[in-house]
Structure 1
Amino acid sequence: MSTTLVLQDRTCTRGSGARYLRAEWTKLRTAPETWWLVLGIVVATVAVSVIVAVNMPCTTAVCGGDPTKAVLTGVQLGQAVVAILAVLAVGGEYGTGMIHATLAAMPRRTGVLAAKAVVVTAVTVPAAVTAVAVSALVGRSVLPAGASTATVLRATGGSVLYLLLIGLLALGVAALVRNAAAAIGVVLALLFLFPILAAAAPDPDWERHLLQIGPMTAGLAVQATTGLDKLPIGPWHGLGVLAVWAFGALLAGGAALAVRDA
């Protein structure tokens, strides 16, 4: 008898998981702003990257600075659009009051947030891959070859992961704050506060530490292909810092969603 109940519970859990995913995918897919924001991720990232690449001072064979990182500059604008898309996946429901219907139909609140994270990932990753790939291809056609193929792949692949983690960070913050405008403000503050404080720090050690723990400054280290020994933090370690921020935000948002009244 107990074995039957356990099997039934597992079957319901699997079924409810698929139901949660279908529901969240339907909501995100049918929201009118979703596909405009997906397009915005690509356009914003590529446009800034092209402008930087075209205006970068280069000779026939040599570029000053880090050409690969330069052609990925657009990621810094694209991340804002990614954050808005992820925030609206949660904040939009609180703004319209639809969250009450969502939680009534799908009572497992952590399951709701997990499903939102999956569908945001499913939308963000293709847009990020397209934006980063086009930026890199345009940059390589404009600028002379510099870094090795493996290093360029690390920078471009890391940029895709960076945008995904920014989306998950924004999703967690939105679940915690529950207001779309406030959540976007919090995410942008987290991204840009640390470089501002680092620039104002009187002590070089403090500047380095602030750059090491900031989600944007640490995460974007993955784009560097030159002067790695001079970076405040290594490329993959920096992306790991951003991952800690993102999953910490998701845990906090999930806990708040589970205990607070809708």
Structure 2
Amino acid sequence: MDVARALEWGERMLRESGIDTARRDVEILLQELLDVDRSALYLDRSRALLPEQKIMFEQWIKQRCARMPLQYVLHKAWFMDMELYVDERVLIPRPETELLVEVVIKEAKGMSEPLQVLDIGTGSGAIAIALARHMSGCRVWAVDISPDALAVARINVGKYSLQQRVTLLEGNLFEPVKGMAFDIIVSNPPYIVRDDLIELEPEVRSEPEPALNGGDDGLDFYRKLCHAGELLKPHGFLALEIGYDQGQAVSDILKACGFKDIQVLKDFANMDRIVLAHKWK
């Protein structure tokens, strides 16, 4: 099998499985397999796959046909300027969450360093690692209730040699950090309405359900996270990712908990995506 035939066969298989991004996915798989960029892939379409490469490619196509997300197939996700290890134990980092990180970095400018940052529900560690890399004057505590997720986060923290600046803790929400105080608390919590989970794309449904399920109205975790004020320093702030229609509801929850200067920020599609709130005085 050469590259041209692999492209044709792979695209046909994925399209027959109902995957709209079939061509792009096959290109990415072949680029990864052959360690080439897209241009080189098409410039050498007659290149033959080695026997072991053909076996691997066919296995990847089979997994993708079963609607396994491309990131799980490759065990790679791209987030900001990083390449992270991911598998079925963690939620796949998304571009919307990059906006959350960017908002935190911008809001933190001018705050006295060193900054103490808490990431609740760290998953793969994407937020914690990105903040540590882009905010040299911060130390991050990253909490997750799932030991499996923390095992993945540990791989990624090690990859970027951040063991001294990112501390991984197992536990539920604020329990592992009782008695501590933070300048910044950040979280991308589960926010999908429980009854809507069944309507998600097969790829999304393959991700860990606890990382998606926000309860009957999608707001369960925001009601718990509003207690973050008890752990924030006087001039600290809370930054949360939210669903596209949850800006007002989350703002109301935080207001009822005493937060002030609450802002709802839009994503690139002009939808509610981030809520930023400052601690009460």
TM-score calculated relative to the size of structure 1 = 0.28
TM-score calculated relative to the size of structure 2 = 0.26
Higher RCO (C-alpha 8 Å, min separation 6):
1
Name whichever structure is richer in strand by fraction.
2
Name whichever structure is richer in helix by fraction.
1
